[in-house]
Structure 1
């Protein structure tokens, strides 16, 4: 070892330098565009967000994006992606409508506080292959609404859809007179090195997708919002409307072939309605496998202890055929069901499956059902959300008090409701924070306020100093001084 480097090492170093240089130049262009855009005023910010929204919502473009996503990722189905692209964007526009995101946004005479919204700068948006158009669109619209520039780091499989989306956005920008450098995408090939460089040079990271990407975001040295792992469970209580519950579970479990992290992976049925609930699920397209069929399905879904990509976001019929269950496939199931009573790596069906395969647990009662969900989330999915089908509203609050979840979805199709829907009050988002349970820094749906800095001006007000007994009197009376 005489101090010389090999040709291979030299080539690798040159590639690394090239990647770093290209990303640095891309971020510099974004900064230049954002500097003027961030000071342009609310009307311009609103026009930019609307342009990006219409780029994906227009039916012809939306159809192109949905079909390209399925063609190039092999995940989900185009009709559901079409609906997702439209509804999630429409809902986001509803949430953003009339929201003030620049200049003075709040004045409180009593506290003497004036709040001023400030852009964060350049946002790096890590997006997954499961939603290669809807997720980047959501992040781009939020970023623009708040006066930021954004550079998307898509998954390699999702690059083509993301690039086409941004091409559509640039065409809309041309109508408004906005610079295309406000919204960019990393050039192909999408590599970990390029993504890592982007994260280092931007001002904020918003990461949705694999836990590896989220960890990369959190360790980049740049402020980051990342999401936790999905592995949603739903409870069907004794008082549930079983037909309604089964219909909503089917809708949630089959939408886009279960690409969503909010699709149920397990359903816990209480003993009092166990058989009736299974019958209702069967009437809604679920097919329950026996022990031998379950074993064959497990062999194809997991290899070397890891979830196999061959079944991810495929239809139940395709998955059954891959498992050699042609008799099951012939029944044209909407989703497959397996019974389980264990948790953890030795029981892989207790984890996330990203496919229309539903794990069924039997619980003695509601208390036992809650305990079962606790054990599922101790393995995977803590922080995300839980579903409940019940006629007793108090049971939903009970789950919220006891389970490690940021959301309790009551009597709704879970995957449609968790990220906001027109019949609940959650904000529309494709990125759900999972709190400290999911090792996240936030526990709400990622929204436009996460893309802002807030400056607070404090004016003097009349001094109000409380008496000590006003604050500690009750303590003193109870416990003495």
Structure 2
């Protein structure tokens, strides 16, 4: 007799067990002082940082995405840079005490967090989400992308062991080892899960928001980069090239298209070529675009995080030695126009407009088509144009004179260092923040009474009394007069007072 194992049932049961342990662990975490929580997080950070190279290599080998040296930088950012930004943050007990207005804010952990982890940034995202969750007094259960299971599990083991040595309950940080779609659905929908941190494709984020559990999700990025004619062109192109080649473009804040004005077009094209970008011919562009999107309109995983060499082998196209980024000139925008969409690979669309006003409208069109609420970049020396873009663009991060990848996550800018970037209401997200521990606890407010009802009424009490006197009449009951008679008597009484 063949013993058939139902993988979905096994996965669902594992999730329930992990949630039980996480719930009990979180109850214990909720009793810890700020100092103890911080010591645990510091140990987690140090362990992740010490293993940043090992984990980067594992992620690259297992998924085939990106560049392991760049993944080292991401692991360092997710551990050390994130910790440096949150280490002094008050997240336990009283976080604010306003003695003047007599209002006290008390941090209340949300409970058990479900951490959905993508294959593009697996180890760094685990480190980051674990740090901000534990810092806020929550436990976290990870749902790993199946193609990155080994490196995700190793990351969880490393940071959990470090946390446990500092007194953290073991169940506070855990990971599904038998991930299935049904198991992940159970994790997101279960009553014990109090919040979902969803990073992944559009379908996964939509599923998180449809689960019935509060969620913070990240939609697709599709940020254009506008090089305005006053920009330092050489520096702007360098920023874009550095950003688009970083880990082969796997961070969703990376630039997806370049927009220029006719006046500076030639100079920009020459600078891109100088920095080893290759402009595709029309025939080459038509061949490559067939590999960018699948028939169902989703991004083709065969190009995600791949090098120019890998793209060459996949498409049969030949590019000059040393090519860093492929650029296709484009005029169209739409869901069926691959170059106008998100491409997590070293591939860019290139648009030309007559004026910066036309560029502004084109950027809005690109973002509205895909990537609304996420990120875009502008390179310019004109502060007035920056202001106009800031007022009108449907993004949560408008980055100025910086690489999109590094600026969006807060590495080259002074916004919160984060690997989960909210897209706001316009992007279907619950927040526009770079997610930090402050997004992962509720606030209980203790507020003292400061005013009495008589004070609140103030001068309005005289108006109320005068109005009552003016309208006070002796009205017959409904049984002694008809409705018309009653109305007439009220009108007459009011008129007499005028």
The normalised TM-score by structure 2 is 0.88
- 1:473 is aligned to none
- 2:435 is aligned to 446
Whole-angstrom distance in 2 between the partners of 1:217 and 1:440? 11
Structure 1 residues 466, 430: closer, same or farther in 2, change over 3 A? Answer: farther
- The correspondence for 2:89, drawn from 90, 99, 120, is 99
Give the match's secondary structure for 1:384: strand
Whole-angstrom distance in 2 between the partners of 1:346 and 1:273? 29
State the Cα distance separating 1:146 from its structure 2 match.
Answer: 1.0
- 2:26 is aligned to 34
Give the match's secondary structure for 2:104: strand
- The correspondence for 1:338, drawn from 328, 335, 346, is 328
Whole-angstrom distance in 1 between the partners of 2:421 and 2:410? 10
Whole-angstrom distance in 2 between the partners of 1:129 and 1:157? 7
1:426 lines up with 2:418 in the alignment: no
Alignment map for 1:53-92 (pairs within 5 Å): 53-58=45-50, 61-92=51-82
Give the match's secondary structure for 1:89: helix
State the Cα distance separating 1:18 from its structure 2 match.
Answer: 4.1
Whole-angstrom distance in 2 between the partners of 1:448 and 1:49? 12
State the Cα distance separating 1:434 from its structure 2 match.
Answer: 0.8
State the Cα distance separating 1:303 from its structure 2 match.
Answer: 3.8
1:235 lines up with 2:226 in the alignment: yes
- 2:144 is aligned to 154
Kept after mapping to 1: 8 A contact 2:49/2:75: yes
Give the match's secondary structure for 2:326: strand
1:169 lines up with 2:147 in the alignment: no
State the Cα distance separating 1:11 from its structure 2 match.
Answer: 7.2
| Bigger mean CA deviation after superposition, 233-242 or 454-463 | 454-463
- 2:12 is aligned to 20
1:46 lines up with 2:38 in the alignment: yes
Whole-angstrom distance in 2 between the partners of 1:467 and 1:341? 64
Structure 1 residues 283, 15: closer, same or farther in 2, change over 3 A? Answer: closer
The normalised TM-score by structure 1 is 0.91
- 1:225 is aligned to 216
- 1:319 is aligned to 311
Structure 1 residues 53, 466: closer, same or farther in 2, change over 3 A? Answer: farther
- 1:247 is aligned to 238
Give the match's secondary structure for 1:369: helix
User: Structure 1: which 5+ residue stretches go unaligned?
Assistant: 1-6, 470-481
State the Cα distance separating 1:468 from its structure 2 match.
Answer: 8.9
Whole-angstrom distance in 2 between the partners of 1:22 and 1:338? 47
Structure 1 residues 15, 84: closer, same or farther in 2, change over 3 A? Answer: closer
- The correspondence for 1:208, drawn from 195, 199, 212, is 199
Kept after mapping to 1: 8 A contact 2:40/2:167: no
- The correspondence for 1:196, drawn from 182, 185, 197, is 185
Whole-angstrom distance in 2 between the partners of 1:337 and 1:349? 9
Count of matched residue positions in the alignment of Structure 1 and Structure 2 = 455
State the Cα distance separating 1:177 from its structure 2 match.
Answer: 2.8
State the Cα distance separating 1:66 from its structure 2 match.
Answer: 0.4
Structure 1 residues 243, 317: closer, same or farther in 2, change over 3 A? Answer: same
- The correspondence for 2:118, drawn from 121, 124, 128, is 128
Whole-angstrom distance in 2 between the partners of 1:155 and 1:415? 22
Structure 1 residues 391, 27: closer, same or farther in 2, change over 3 A? Answer: same
1:256 lines up with 2:256 in the alignment: no
State the Cα distance separating 1:162 from its structure 2 match.
Answer: 1.0
- 2:476 is aligned to none
- 1:271 is aligned to 262
Whole-angstrom distance in 2 between the partners of 1:411 and 1:438? 24
Whole-angstrom distance in 2 between the partners of 1:297 and 1:15? 38
- The correspondence for 1:459, drawn from 448, 455, 480, is 448
State the Cα distance separating 1:393 from its structure 2 match.
Answer: 2.0
| RMSD, matched Cα | 2.0
Whole-angstrom distance in 2 between the partners of 1:294 and 1:456? 58
State the Cα distance separating 1:142 from its structure 2 match.
Answer: 0.4
State the Cα distance separating 1:319 from its structure 2 match.
Answer: 1.1
1:376 lines up with 2:383 in the alignment: no
- 2:483 is aligned to none
Whole-angstrom distance in 2 between the partners of 1:432 and 1:348? 23
Alignment map for 1:367-406 (pairs within 5 Å): 367-406=357-396
Deviation digits for residues 339-388 of structure 1, max 9, x if unmatched?
00001133211001110001100011110101111111121111101100
State the Cα distance separating 1:462 from its structure 2 match.
Answer: 4.3
State the Cα distance separating 1:21 from its structure 2 match.
Answer: 3.0
Kept after mapping to 1: 8 A contact 2:78/2:127: no
State the Cα distance separating 1:306 from its structure 2 match.
Answer: 3.9
State the Cα distance separating 1:318 from its structure 2 match.
Answer: 2.1
Give the match's secondary structure for 1:143: helix
- The correspondence for 2:130, drawn from 134, 140, 149, is 140
- 1:365 is aligned to 355
Kept after mapping to 1: 8 A contact 2:41/2:163: no
Kept after mapping to 2: 8 A contact 1:316/1:357: no
